[in-house]
């Protein structure tokens, strides 16, 4: 990878992770020179002339870091679990973007039959497959890209695997949590080669972000 004068590029997941990670980055001394929310731009210089921010789709954040287009990234654990990444290290649990990956079903149906071959709709097919396989349960997975809550309502699936925070989306659609798979939060990730080649530049940034996370606990 080219050194690019040791500039550090950070890929940020847009959407709700961005909203929650910008204050954390600001606490770590990394502030975009213009408002990301009010701009259509995708690359932002920061108060630190050596640090540049990229704003990318949440599910694309690991890809930018995997291929070294970004040295660091912020991505949801849900997305990281689905991504096929060999060149990424997870460095810090940022404790933002917190929610749970759950199995959900219609409120008006019986408990899920753990011996039946369930039809499971999800955007998180890899995590779902692993969860059911670990329990020795056979499932038929149906890949969706969003609005999964619809699937059990129109008999596309018996249940869904989706993220749950307040539970409002499930309730609004007559669904409920049947099983909790795992806790989810956003993680600071690093490209494996960058971590070696730009270690000196990266460590103070990583430490500052770690400290910002620590300070929040108090
Ligand atoms: P994409 O555009 O890549 O499909 P998306 O539209 O799902 O992503 P967001 O809704 O902003 O984008 O969610 C991105 C990330 O935010 C998720 O990957 C997850 O880590 C986190 N997240 C999603 N839903 C919640 C939630 N209800 N509460 C907290 N964090 C959440
Ligand atoms: C996420 C998730 C659920 C909802 C859960 O969707 O896919 O639909 O949040 O949050 P709640 O329990 O607080 O209601 P998001 O808002 O990101 O929309 P999307 O999946 O359509 O992108």
For 188-206, how does the pLDDT look when each residue is reduced to its tens digit (9 = 90+)? 999 999 999 999 999 999 9
Structure tokens at 51: 């640090």
**What's the CATH number for 8-97+185-217?**
3.40.190.10
Strands 139-143 and 72-76, bridge-based pairing: unpaired
Q: Where are the domains of the chain?
A: 8-97+185-217, 99-183
Read off the pLDDT of residues 101-145 as tens digits, 9 standing for 90 and up. 999 999 999 999 999 999 999 999 999 999 999 999 999 999 999
Spatial separation of the C-alpha atoms in residues 14 and 42, rounded to whole Å: 10
- Residue pointed to by tokens 């249940």: 159
Structure tokens at 179: 């099983």
Cα 63 to the chain's mean position, in Å? 12
Which is the closest atom of ligand 1 to the Cα of 18? 11
CA nearest 30: which of 67, 85, 72? 72
Which is the closest atom of ligand 1 to the Cα of 13? 14
Query: Ligand 2 pocket, 166 CB below 6 A?
Result: yes
| Residue 199 confidence (pLDDT) | 97
Exposure b/e, 97-114, CB count within 10 A at least 16 = b: bebbbbbbbbeeeeebee
Mutate to test the pocket of ligand 2, among 16, 77, 160, 165 (most ligand atoms within 8 A of CB): 165
CATH number of 99-183: 3.40.190.10, 2.40.50.100, 3.40.50.300, 3.40.50.2000? 3.40.190.10
Residue 217's pLDDT band (cuts 50, 70, 90) = confident
Spatial separation of the C-alpha atoms in residues 178 and 44, rounded to whole Å: 42
Spatial separation of the C-alpha atoms in residues 124 and 133, rounded to whole Å: 14
Closest ligand, as measured to the CA of 58: 1
Ligand 2 atom 8 nearest Cα: 169
Query: Ligand 2 pocket, 146 CB below 6 A?
Result: yes
| Residue 13 confidence (pLDDT) | 97
Read off the pLDDT of residues 66-103 as tens digits, 9 standing for 90 and up. 999 999 999 999 999 999 899 999 999 999 999 999 99
Q: Which residue has the higher pLDDT, 3 or 124?
A: 124
**Do 99-183 and 8-97+185-217 have the same topology in CATH?**
yes
- What is each CA distance from 20 to 13, 57, 74, 131, 156, in whole angstroms? 10, 15, 11, 28, 34
Query: Ligand 2 pocket, 165 CB below 6 A?
Result: yes
- Residue pointed to by tokens 């309730």: 171
Which is the closest atom of ligand 1 to the Cα of 164? 27
CA nearest 78: which of 127, 18, 12? 127
CA nearest 105: which of 174, 52, 38? 174
- Residue pointed to by tokens 């999800």: 122
Is the separation of the CB atoms in 198 and 6 below 8 Å? Answer: yes
């Amino acid at each position: 990878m080219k050194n690019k004068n040791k500039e550090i590029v950070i890929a940020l997941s847009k959407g709700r992770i961005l909203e929650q990670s910008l204050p954390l980055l600001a606490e770590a001394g990394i502030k975009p020179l213009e408002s990301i929310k009010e701009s259509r731009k995708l690359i932002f210089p920061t108060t630190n002339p050596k640090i540049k921010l990229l704003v990318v789709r949440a599910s694309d954040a690991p890809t930018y870091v995997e291929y070294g287009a970004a040295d660091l990234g912020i991505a949801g654990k849900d997305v990281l679990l689905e991504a096929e990444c060999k060149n990424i290290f997870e460095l810090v649990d940022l404790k933002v973007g917190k929610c749970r990956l759950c199995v959900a079903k219609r409120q008006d149906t019986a408990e899920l039959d753990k011996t039946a071959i369930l039809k499971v709709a999800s955007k998180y097919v890899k995590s779902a497959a692993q969860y059911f396989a670990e329990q020795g349960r056979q499932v038929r997975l149906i890949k969706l890209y969003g609005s999964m809550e619809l699937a059990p309502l129109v008999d596309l699936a018996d249940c869904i695997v989706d993220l749950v925070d307040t539970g409002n989306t499930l309730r609004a659609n007559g669904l409920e949590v049947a099983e909790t798979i795992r806790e989810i939060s956003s993680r600071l990730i690093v490209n494996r080669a960058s971590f070696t080649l730009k270690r000196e530049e990266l460590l103070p940034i990583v430490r500052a972000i770690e400290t910002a996370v620590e300070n929040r606990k108090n």
